[in-house]
């Protein structure tokens, strides 16, 4: 059985991507949590993953790191990871790669934190450009390939790559320019595994100071839905 190493639910957008894909496609795996505050667990991970980061997938003696590589490894072994149609598959891979490498302003200004609600101090042009691009890409995918997901009627890896943005939109109360794009974000949030991830994020009693400092710099905390911090 696969072992997937992930970090804290509340903050770890990179962990969410392969975890969600495995859950939606009903691919069996064992989850190993590596919390940000557990120094010993991170040292053990560094002995396993060459980059010392999550997510990391272990399959017997094979270790796969970086979310794109994990997805492609799974695609070689399981149907449904990418759309079956060649045109849709090419589009989906391009869109996933764009997410993997791009949207820097959205990532930095709107750090993922599932359990809080933030009002941004400002929405600068760079953030608006990122949001407009997300909106256009989501709307194109749903319209071009028939929906309800980005490149097919079925959920695939490209949807997993954009799932953290749905949480970011919820956290920061952001609306996309196209109503269809907002509807797609809501469909992601309503997926049962996304609801499971969210519920577990709210139940975490750990706070990561660097992440929370980023949030404080970006905006005003309106609501904290997480359980009380431990200790």
The 3-class secondary structure across 123-161, one letter per residue, is: CCHHHHHHHHHHHHHHHHHHHHHCCCCCCCCCCCHHHHH
Note the pLDDT of residue 38.
Answer: 85
Q: Are 188 and 159 in contact (CB under 8 A)?
A: yes
- Reading the block at residue 66, the tokens are 């970086």
For the cut 90, the answer to whether the pLDDT of residue 39 exceeds it is no
The pLDDT score that the predictor gives to residue 11 is 97
Compute the Cα dihedral for 213, 193, 6, 13 and give only its sign: negative
Q: What was the pLDDT predicted at 177?
A: 96
Segment 5-19 mean pLDDT: 97
Q: What angle do CA 205, 209, 215 make, to 5 degrees?
A: 100
Distance, CA of 149 to CA of 147 (rounded, Å)? 4
User: If you average pLDDT over residues 138-149, what whole number do you get?
Assistant: 98
Report residue 59's pLDDT band, with 50, 70 and 90 as the boundaries.
very high
pLDDT score, position 44: 86
pLDDT level of residue 22 (50, 70, 90 thresholds):
very high
pLDDT band, residue 48 (cuts 50/70/90):
confident
Interval 59-65 mean pLDDT: 96
The model carries a pTM of 0.96
């Amino acid at each position: 059985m696969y072992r997937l190493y992930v970090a804290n639910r509340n903050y770890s957008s990179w962990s969410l991507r392969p975890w969600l894909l495995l859950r939606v496609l009903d691919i069996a795996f064992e989850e190993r949590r590596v919390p940000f505050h557990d120094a010993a667990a991170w040292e053990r991970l560094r002995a396993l993953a060459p980059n010392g980061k999550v997510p990391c997938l272990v399959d017997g003696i094979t270790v796969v790191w970086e979310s794109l590589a994990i997805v492609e490894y799974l695609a070689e072994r399981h149907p449904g990871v990418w759309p079956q149609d060649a045109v849709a598959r090419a589009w989906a891979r391009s869109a996933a790669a764009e997410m993997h490498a791009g949207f820097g302003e959205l990532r930095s200004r709107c750090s993922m934190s599932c359990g809080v609600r933030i009002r941004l101090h400002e929405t600068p042009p760079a953030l608006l450009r990122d949001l407009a691009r997300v909106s256009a890409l989501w709307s194109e995918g749903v319209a071009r390939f028939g929906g309800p997901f980005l490149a097919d009627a079925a959920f695939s890896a490209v949807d997993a790559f954009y799932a953290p943005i749905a949480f970011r939109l919820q956290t920061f109360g952001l609306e996309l320019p196209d109503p269809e794009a907002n509807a797609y974000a809501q469909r992601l949030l309503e997926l049962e595994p996304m609801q499971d991830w969210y519920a577990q994020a709210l139940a975490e009693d750990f706070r990561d100071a660097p992440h929370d400092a980023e949030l404080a710099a970006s905006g005003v905390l309106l609501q904290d839905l997480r359980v009380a911090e431990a200790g």
